[in-house]
Chains A and B, each alone.
Chain A
Amino acid sequence: MFNYAVKRVLQLIPVLLLISILVFSLVYAIPGDPARMLAPPDASDEEIDRIAERLGLHRPLPVQYADWFVGVLQGDWGNSISWGRPVLPDLLRRLPATLQLAALSVLFSVGVAIPVGVLSATRQNSFIDSISRVASLLGLSMPNFWVGMMLILLFALHLRLLPASGRRGFEYLILPAITLGTSGMATIMRVTRSTMLEVIRQDYVRTARSKGLPERVVIYKHTLRNALIAVITVIGLQMGFRLGGTVVIERVFAYPGLGQLAYQGMMHRDTPMIMGNLMLFATMFCLINLVVDLIYAFVDPRIRYG
């Protein structure tokens, strides 16, 4: 088990290496010159060239990559092109904000989705089931920035219950977390419902019922536990997507997390900033997948890692 985890972490290295090369070249392939973006719009070529030179952007791409890569190995993730200061401290300072938001949104979506999913499966075609199915359809189809705006208008403007933007306390997390969690909630709800329905039709559930077990035990001990594998897989994937979703959501709520840095980095062709963000996102994505895999073994005794 431990060996397995170590092996998986080691596998991260080639993955990150490949991603870094790919993204580094991609950023340069996108049209747009970072030096030009620092200059006033009417700046002449000479001015722009001077800025490029000061930033080291005139060097060949492989040299720039090698420079960046060596720096990363030494703990120096480079200086942001647009901000002109080291990238790493900024990234690390914003990381907790984004993790916190992602975690709360997962808590929200799991906390709502699993009970509702179970309820909806056990009372198939009931009123509750219909409502939850419509809700999950809506949750999946609404773009999350729009959900965010609607929540702001409702809770911040009309009801004056919650703040619309910033991060100065727990209440500032509620709206962004719900927004971020909505589509995940819908997905998890649907998966919970459908796997539950599948499991409920299994022979062993009928056996459990016929031997007179209370319905509660049948559902929670025999059905839900067997349905959990699929649900956990979806939750793991959702957490990864959640990190990407922060790019949009953090802008709507002016939330000071990694997502906004990533957005600004992209708008300014700020390679070190984009790379730094991406490395963090990729690492987290891989680690989440690893944790999900490890959790499988606990939930389902049939799964073992050598």
Chain B
Amino acid sequence: MRRTRWFWLVLIMSMFMLVFVVGCGQPADPPPEPDEPEEEPEEEEEEPEEEPAEEPTRDQIVYIGVSSEPHRLDPRFGAGTVAARNVQTLVHDSLISWDDDTLEIEYVLAEEINIPDPQTYEVKLREGVLFHNGEELTTADVEYTYNTLRDPDAAASNFSHYEPIEEIEVHDDYNLTFHLREPNMPFLYRLRADIVSKSYSEEHATDENPYGDDYTNMNPLGTGPFKFVEWRTGEEIILEAFDDYFQGRPKLDQVIFRPIPDATTRTVELQTGEIHINEEIDPVQVAITEADDNVVVSRRSQMGFQSLGIHVDLGEPTDDKRVRQAISHMMPREDIIDFVMHGLGEPAYGPIPPGHWAHEPDVPRFEYDPDRAQELLDDAGYSDGFSAELYVIEDSVRVQLCEIIQEELSKFDIDVNINVLEGGAFWDQMRTGESQMFQTGWNAVTDPDDFMWRQFHSSSVPPHGANRQFYQNPDFDAIIEEALGETDQERRKELYSEAQKMVVEDASYVFLYHHERALGTSPDLRDFEYSIYFCFRDLMDAYLAD
């Protein structure tokens, strides 16, 4: 009797454990995609040796630790996040690309682009470019890609960027023309959309899924230097060199993305050589990481800014320009950068970062000057201060930044109440258009029109755009409207200089700093530079040294 009871107990327990241990035997392999020519990566390649530097002939496999995993890899639908762009910029090519520092246009799939007038963009394609499935790229693919992007029903990423297209006229296999509704110079930068294969997408399209993206989001196919091999969600995304790449086969054999959400873990993985690139080093860890010989830390300007937005049309006291300028004078920008960003940034006095062709250094500088701030407040009649609501997205760096702002403003008896909102709730609050103060920023500025229009033009007040401070200035509007269609680059630069001065003077945004991103790489990784706009694209020329 007793013996049988124990027998049963052991039996149940072992069945129970068996259920658990079943997992051990399955290294979670997804079923191979039927249409994808799959090459099983070899076991030994998957696990880098403990000391890869000691190997005489090493595998050319680069592991990249990324902070988040992408959701949709088809560039028509997933271009909204850095996580997806990381992969897309390697798997796909676009018509053009540009230099990170000068923003000078470089042709990729385009052989030539003519702009006879700012409403007409004539594109000649490079011949003999192959997709990863061996088919040749033609204008049909370009037309198809851009037609999806501008199709309202497709709800593709960045629809508004392609809305200005009136018609795409295909002349032959290698020539096509974009006709725009209105003169639009910034459209040149829109030609950076990654091109997908028409036949491949249509092959996987169904009645419910007319763009085929249910399939292509998981199995992207492009003309880029690396082809997509396998995506084991939560573990890795494996890309492999494309032998027939039109600019020559990359030196690397494989690029493998590993999502590692925790910043500390990512740093440790780079220090121990498990990954070769750490996409983003937390500002707090930059100093420690720099001290490690196994890591090369490089800093890139994010080509953007962080700012404090102030509603100009929500009654007293922030409707008074002097009050807003006073707040700008209260900001100890250098200290903020040291404290919040651990030095990763430089003070911002205007929207366009230094280095950008449209950067205007000669804007009114509201430098840290408490006396001047008090003077302005006295002039405006707020010597005794006031109280204000400040909204910020839930993020430790941003919240810290706001606490400093709160502290500095309190010295002038301005009582700031910080509302920390989680991502979705924050944007909902922004859409109401009734936020007295808010902390936001902007990354990867391309054409100045990009954010000047969306953030400061009268037509962009919520819910239509991002002018959440309700800045409405007819003079400013006129300038950027003119700049939109101006073909002469020098004249455009002048117009945007003018616009920048106005925006700074009116202080609906208090510009705080141009932030930088710290990236960690292994010293063995050569000839690689990260791009704010094109992520890891430079890996097509990189290699691992012995």
The residues of A with any CB-CB pair to B shorter than 8 Å are: 30-34, 36-45, 47, 50-51, 53-54, 82-85, 90, 93-97, 99-100, 102-103, 149, 152-153, 156-157, 160, 163-168, 170, 251-254, 256-257, 260-261, 264, 267-269, 291, 294-295, 298-299, 301
Contact = CB atoms under 8 A, between A and B. Distances in A.
Contact of A269 (B5, B17, B217, B424): B424
Interface stretch (B100-108, B262-270, B398-406, B500-508): B262-270
B5 to A, nearest CB: 5
B428 A32 contact: yes
Interface of B: 5-6, 8-9, 12-13, 16-17, 19-24, 26-28, 30, 46-47, 50, 69, 71-72, 77, 80, 152-153, 155, 157-160, 213-214, 217-218, 232-235, 258-262, 264-265, 268-269, 271-272, 274, 421-425, 427-428, 431, 451, 454-455, 462-466
A84 B466 CA distance: 27
A301 B5 CA distance: 9
Contact of B157 (A40, A251, A254): A40
Contacts of B464: 44-45
A50 B152 contact: yes
Nearest to A258: B234
21 contacts: A30-B425, A32-B422, A33-B428, A36-B428, A37-B423, A40-B158, A45-B463, A53-B155, A93-B233, A94-B234, A96-B22, A96-B24, A99-B19, A152-B265, A153-B264, A166-B235, A256-B232, A256-B234, A291-B12, A298-B8, A298-B9
B23 A100 contact: yes
Given A44-B463, A93-B28, A254-B258, A31 B265 contact: no
A100 B24 contact: yes
B9 A299 contact: yes
Contacts of A100: 20-21, 23-24
Given A100-B20, A269-B424, A39 B265 contact: no
Nearest to A156: B268
Overall SS of chain A's interface: helix
Nearest to B152: A50
B115 to A, nearest CB: 26
Given A42-B454, A84-B213, A168-B27, 6 more contacts: A33-B427, A40-B80, A96-B22, A100-B23, A153-B268, A254-B258
B148 to A, nearest CB: 13
4 tightest Cβ-Cβ pairs between the two chains A and B: A32-B424, A96-B23, A256-B234, A103-B20
Contacts of B27: 167-168
Contact of A164 (B72, B269, B466): B269
A253 B5 contact: no
Given A102-B20, A261-B234, A254 B159 contact: no
A50 B155 contact: yes
A32 B261 CA distance: 22
A32 B23 contact: no
Contact of B427 (A36, A83, A163, A256): A36
A170 B71 contact: no
Contacts of B465: 42, 44
Contacts of B28: 93-94, 96-97, 167, 256
A267 B422 CA distance: 9
Contacts of B234: 94, 256-257, 260-261
Nearest to B422: A32
Nearest to B236: A166
A164 B274 contact: yes
B243 to A, nearest CB: 28
A97 B23 contact: yes
B155 A51 contact: yes
Contact of A168 (B21, B46, B69): B46
Contacts of A103: 17, 20-21, 23
A50 B159 CA distance: 10
A112 B296 CA distance: 42
B233 A256 contact: yes
B265 A252 contact: yes
Contact of A254 (B13, B80, B261, B424): B261
Given A43-B160, A83-B71, A160-B272, A256 B23 contact: no
Contacts of A97: 23, 28
B80 A298 contact: no
Given A85-B214, A163-B274, A291-B16, A254 B260 contact: yes
A204 to B, nearest CB: 18
Contacts of B455: 42
B26 A96 contact: yes
B268 A157 contact: yes
A298 B425 contact: no
A280 to B, nearest CB: 14
A53 B155 CA distance: 9
A165 B265 contact: yes
A103 to B, nearest CB: 3
A41 B466 CA distance: 9
A152 B431 CA distance: 42
A249 to B, nearest CB: 10
Contacts of B152: 50
A51 B213 CA distance: 14
B489 to A, nearest CB: 25
A36 B424 contact: yes
Given A50-B152, A156-B268, A170-B24, A254 B217 contact: no
Contacts of A37: 423-424
A266 to B, nearest CB: 10
Contacts of B19: 99
Given A96-B28, A168-B46, A54 B155 contact: yes
Contacts of A82: 71
A163, A253, A256, A291 interface centre (most CB from chain B within 10 Å): A256
Contacts of A268: 71
Contacts of A102: 20
A155 B286 CA distance: 21
Contacts of A50: 152-153, 155, 159
Contacts of A34: 424
Contacts of B157: 39-40
Contacts of B80: 38-40
Contact of A165 (B13, B260, B271): B260
Contact of A31 (B217, B232, B261, B425): B425
Nearest to B423: A32
Contact of A30 (B12, B21, B264, B424): B424
